[in-house]
Amino acid sequence: MATTITLVQGDITEQHVDVIVNAANSSLLGGGGVDGAIHRKGGPDILAACRELRAAQYGKGLPTGRAVATTAGRLPARWVIHTVGPVWSASEDRSELLASCHRESLRVADELGAKTVAIPAISTGIYGWPMEDAARIAVEAVQQAETRVEEVRFVLFDERAYEAFAAQVR
Ligand code: AR6
């Protein structure tokens, strides 16, 4: 069955889905933006799980474009999948890494048996990626992914982000 892409304007921490994707950094120890909101609302179990992952596998950090799952703590989701988006660069094409964040998140979601996955506009905040370009890369990556996930819900924080994603799925 094909994956359905849906769009909502809102806060990703409030989504009732199997998986919430976090726009993390390679330290896995939290930060601002979506990452800060997820750790704040999800509580300390998420950070504890991230610390365990670091100790076991990612002492040098989770590479850009990769994804790992933890508990979702007190959030209404079952799991958080942490992925590290690329920092925007005007001189270097990093779009393959941004596409990889989406593919890898869906691959990990498949491993968990997740059917509904909420994804924010990865790299478009602190990491500076232009919204229209990020929306195109994100939507194409999900459309081309081979996954058993039934719904990918892009959760966009403001109207500008929502409109940029809407232009790609029309
Ligand atoms: N729900 C949905 N979208 C949100 C939310 C929310 N609660 N909060 C912000 N956004 P960012 P990045 C939007 O900066 O660019 C962190 O410090 C926001 O408007 O969260 O990938 C990490 O630790 C923007 O459109 O992620 C990394 O160091 C989008 O989510 C770094 O930021 C992504 O913005 C990652 O930067």
Verify whether residue 35 is a known catalytic residue: yes
The Cβ of residue 23 has, within 10 Å, a number of other Cβ atoms equal to: 24
Q: Are strands 67-71 and 19-24 parallel, antiparallel or unpaired?
A: unpaired
Q: Are strands 79-84 and 116-119 parallel, antiparallel or unpaired?
A: unpaired
Q: What is the pLDDT of residues 109-165, one digit of tens each?
A: 999 999 999 999 999 999 999 999 999 999 999 999 999 999 999 999 999 999 999
Number of domains in the chain: 1
Range of the domain at 66: 4-166
7 CB near ligand 1 (under 6 Å):
no
Q: Is 2 exposed, middle or buried (0-12, 13-18, 19+ CB in 10 A)?
A: exposed
pLDDT (tens digit, 9 = 90+) per residue, 63-84?
A: 999 999 999 999 999 999 999 9
CATH number, domain at 97? 3.40.220.10
* Catalytic position from the list 11, 18, 35, 110: 35
Q: Is the pTM of this model over 0.95?
A: yes
- Find residue 68's DSSP bridge partners: 82
Alpha carbon nearest to ligand 1 atom 31, residue: 126
